[in-house]
Amino acid sequence: MLREHPAVAEAAAFSIPDAKYGEEVWAAVVLKGDSDAERLQAFLIRIVSVIPKNETGKVERRDLTAARKS
C-alpha cells in the first residue's frame, strides 16, 4: 500500500520491540521530491467508529480488511 502512493519513492516495513504486544510494525518511506508528509500520513490512517474485536478482545483484522474493500 505504501509503494502505491504517488508521493512514495521507496518503502520498507519492519518490526520494533513492544512491551505489551511483543512487537509493533513500523514503516520507513522515502518521499519523491517535495512531497507533503502530512498528506501521506492522512492517506495511511483510517478513522473508524469502532475497532472490531472478538469475544476475547482480540482485534478482528479480517473485518477491518473487509471494511476497507467496501
Q: Which of 8, 14, 47, 51 lies closest to 31 in space, CA to CA?
A: 8
3-class secondary structure, 16: strand
- Structural domain boundaries enclosing 43: 2-69
> Which phi-psi region, left, alpha or beta, contains residue 18 (left: φ > 0; alpha: ψ -120 to 50)?
beta
pLDDT in tens, 15-61: 999 898 899 999 999 999 888 888 888 888 877 888 999 999 999 98
Cβ atoms of residues 29 and 2 within 8 Å: yes
Q: HSE (CB half, 13 Å, CA atoms) of 5?
A: 21
| pLDDT, tens only, 18-27 | 898 899 999 9
Q: Domain tally for the chain?
A: 1
